[in-house]
Amino acid sequence: MSYKDLYLQDAGKIISPSKKTAPSARVFGVPYDSTSSFRAGSRFAPQAIRAAFNNIEVYSKLFEVDLEKEFIQDLGDMAVVNDPLATAERVSKLWRELLEDRIPACMIGGEHSISYGSILALPADVGVAIFDAHLDLREEFDGSRFTHATFFRRLLDKLGRERFLHIGSRAACGQEWAYVRENGLNIVEAKDFDVEMVLGNRLFRDYKRVYFSIDVDFFDPAYAPGTGNPEPCGLSPKDFLKVLSGMSGNEMVGFDVVEVSPVYDNGITCVLAAKLIAELFAYICSTRLH
């Protein structure tokens, strides 16, 4: 039995009217938020973001791709368990199986701890860009070493620093900033954000294949109020799309969009998340076409 059969269950679907039978990309949800520390509710995001996706235009003028002509295969939602590490291990097993098919996938969270599982599953030649207001580098949080506030620290413990670029940071404790300095982490703080500087970063030069992990609190709360830990002075959707459209054909093997908490706004953040997913899918299709 495959992990797709074992862990995934039917959920509301992203509607894909394409007549193609081979998927251009896949999507699945992980409705998990058990370690959320402020405003829980990201477990409701996979369904809410699907509903938003099904009600926005999915022709990308940016990449000249019509997603209505591409088969986006919705695999449903993962059956999660309460333990965060056990859930992340399920995520990792599923991602390894999906990566073997060489079909790019999107994971909709859920909280950011689930990205530990997807990133651990990536081959060593894949660079990882994390878009996040928070560093998530605490040694422990609320007495636990594995939460949505520590997942990046745990990844660095396992994988080292070379494969990572962290973009948009503006909220962390003093010990986290000290860890950044002492370990020479590859980060672009929100206050220093510049599109050309990001695109010129060694990650995009050294890694032809990339994975994006997008915590929606990367964006200023004016654009993404519906998130668990909003932080002012963030970036705009245009900033993100300029990075995406400026890449030099790096292969996107997959991505995740996490920490949307639909109960805290009137759908604005879900629409933003759906738009991001659509443009990321369009980027994937455009790079395959060319």
Q: Domains of the chain (ranges plus CATH)?
A: 3-289 (3.40.800.10)
| Mean of pLDDT over the chain | 93
pLDDT at position 143 is 63
pLDDT at position 206 is 97
Q: Please report the sign of the dihedral spanned by the C-alpha atoms of residue 273, residue 274, residue 275, residue 276.
A: positive
Query: Is residue 128 pLDDT above 90, yes or no?
Result: yes
pLDDT at position 39 is 78
Choose the weakest-confidence range: 6-20, 184-198, 223-237. 6-20
Confidence of residue 222 (pLDDT cuts 50, 70, 90): very high
pLDDT at position 40 is 76
> What are the tens digits of pLDDT across the range 62-104?
999 999 999 999 999 999 998 989 999 999 999 999 999 999 9
> What are the tens digits of pLDDT across the range 139-177?
767 766 777 778 899 999 999 999 999 999 999 989 999
pLDDT at position 29 is 97
Only one residue has tokens 């059969």, namely: 5
pLDDT at position 290 is 60
pLDDT at position 11 is 78
Confidence of residue 210 (pLDDT cuts 50, 70, 90): very high
Percent of all residues in the chain with a pLDDT value above 70, rounded to a whole number: 97
Percent of all residues in the chain with a pLDDT value above 90, rounded to a whole number: 79
Confidence of residue 121 (pLDDT cuts 50, 70, 90): very high
Confidence of residue 251 (pLDDT cuts 50, 70, 90): very high
Query: Is residue 27 pLDDT above 70, yes or no?
Result: yes
